[in-house]
Structure 1
Amino acid sequence: MLTVNLLVIAGCIAMAVLTTDTDGNPDGVCISLAVILTIAALFNFKGIMQLEPNEAMVIMFFGKYKGTFTDTGYYWVNPFLTKKRLSMRARNLDSEPIKVNDKAGNPIMIGLMLVWKLKDTYKAMFEIDAQTVAQTGGNTSIGAAAVAGVMKAFENFVKIQSDAALRQVAGLYAYDDNGNETEALTLREGGDEINQQLEDKLNERLSMAGIEIVEARINYLAYAPEIAAVMLRRQQAEAIISAREKIVEGAVSMVKMALDKLSDEQVVELDDDKKAAMVSNLMVVLCADEPAQPVMNTGTLNH
Structure 2
Amino acid sequence: MSTATTPESEGSADATASRPARLIQNEATTEIPVHLLFRDDPDPQPVPVRPTVVARRQGTGEQPRVRRPVQAAPRPAVPRADPELTERRARVLPGAAGVLAGVCGVAGCAATTWWAGLLPTLAARAAHLPLTPGAGLEPAQWGAYAGAGALALFGFGGLARGRTGGAWALGLFGRYRGTVRRTGLLWVNPLLLRRRVDVRLRHWRSEPMPAADGNGVALRVVALVVWRVRDTARAALGVDDHETYLRECVEAALARVPVDLPGTGRAAGEATGDTLTRLVAADVAPVGLEVFSVRPVRVEYAPEVAAVMQRRQLAVLDARHRATVLSSVVDSVEDTVTRLTVRGLVALDDYERKALVKDLTVAFCAGRGES
**TM-score range for the pair, normalised by the shorter chain length:** 0.7 to 0.9
**Aligned pair in 2 of structure 1 residues 67, 31: CA closer, same or farther (>3 Å)?**
closer
- Given candidates 103, 111, 116, the residue that maps to 2:214 is 103
- Displacement of 1:240 in angstroms is 0.8
Say if 2:296 is the partner of 1:208. Answer: no
- Given candidates 52, 57, 73, the residue that maps to 2:168 is 57
Query: Sequence identity, in percent?
Result: 27
Q: Which moved more, 1:62-71 or 1:99-108?
A: 62-71
**TM (normalized to structure 2)?**
0.61
- Once residues 107 and 233 of structure 1 are traced to their aligned partners in structure 2, the CA distance between those partners, rounded to angstroms, is 16
1:145-194 deviation line (CA, Å, top 9, x unaligned): xxxxxxxx11211122122222222xx256589xxxxxxx68x9943332
- Displacement of 1:87 in angstroms is 0.6
- Displacement of 1:67 in angstroms is 4.2
1:82-125 deviation line (CA, Å, top 9, x unaligned): 54321112334332213344332322222223232212223323
Residue matched to 1:3: 99
- Given candidates 90, 106, 113, the residue that maps to 1:17 is 113
- Displacement of 1:61 in angstroms is 6.4
The one-letter code matched in structure 2 to 1:106 is: V
**Aligned pair in 2 of structure 1 residues 228, 25: CA closer, same or farther (>3 Å)?**
closer
- Given candidates 197, 216, 236, the residue that maps to 1:125 is 236
* Largest Rg, 1 or 2: 2
SS across alignment from 1:266: coil
Residue matched to 1:87: 198
- Given candidates 230, 254, 258, the residue that maps to 1:166 is 254
- Once residues 192 and 369 of structure 2 are traced to their aligned partners in structure 1, the CA distance between those partners, rounded to angstroms, is 85
- Displacement of 1:63 in angstroms is 6.4
- Displacement of 1:202 in angstroms is 1.9
- Once residues 231 and 252 of structure 2 are traced to their aligned partners in structure 1, the CA distance between those partners, rounded to angstroms, is 22
- Displacement of 1:236 in angstroms is 1.0
1:7-36 deviation line (CA, Å, top 9, x unaligned): 223212222222124144345424412321
Once the two structures are superposed, the pairs formed by residues 91-240 of structure 1 within 5 Å of their partners are: 91-126=202-237, 128=238, 132-133=239-240, 153-169=241-257, 172-173=258-259, 175=261, 190-240=268-318
Residue matched to 1:264: 342
The one-letter code matched in structure 1 to 2:163 is: E
Q: 2:105 touches 2:151 (CA, 8 Å); kept in 1?
A: no
Say if 2:364 is the partner of 1:282. Answer: no
**Aligned pair in 2 of structure 1 residues 216, 100: CA closer, same or farther (>3 Å)?**
closer
- Displacement of 1:80 in angstroms is 5.2
SS across alignment from 1:191: helix
1:202-250 deviation line (CA, Å, top 9, x unaligned): 2222222222234432233222222222222111111111111111122
The root-mean-square deviation of aligned C-alpha atoms, in Å, is 3.0
SS across alignment from 1:270: coil
- Displacement of 1:62 in angstroms is 6.7
- Displacement of 1:79 in angstroms is 4.6
Residue matched to 2:153: 42
The one-letter code matched in structure 1 to 2:364 is: L
**TM (normalized to structure 1)?**
0.73
SS across alignment from 1:279: helix
Q: Which has the higher contact order (CA 8 A, sep 6+)?
A: 1
The one-letter code matched in structure 2 to 1:105 is: G
- Displacement of 1:37 in angstroms is 2.4
SS across alignment from 2:369: coil
Q: 2:259 touches 2:272 (CA, 8 Å); kept in 1?
A: no
Q: 1:285 touches 1:291 (CA, 8 Å); kept in 2?
A: no
Q: Which structure 1 segments of 5+ residues have no match?
A: 134-152, 178-184, 293-303
Q: 1:8 touches 1:38 (CA, 8 Å); kept in 2?
A: no
Q: 1:98 touches 1:110 (CA, 8 Å); kept in 2?
A: yes
The one-letter code matched in structure 1 to 2:110 is: A
The one-letter code matched in structure 1 to 2:361 is: M
**Aligned pair in 2 of structure 1 residues 67, 56: CA closer, same or farther (>3 Å)?**
same
Q: Which structure 2 segments of 5+ residues have no match?
A: 1-96, 118-131
Residue matched to 2:38: none
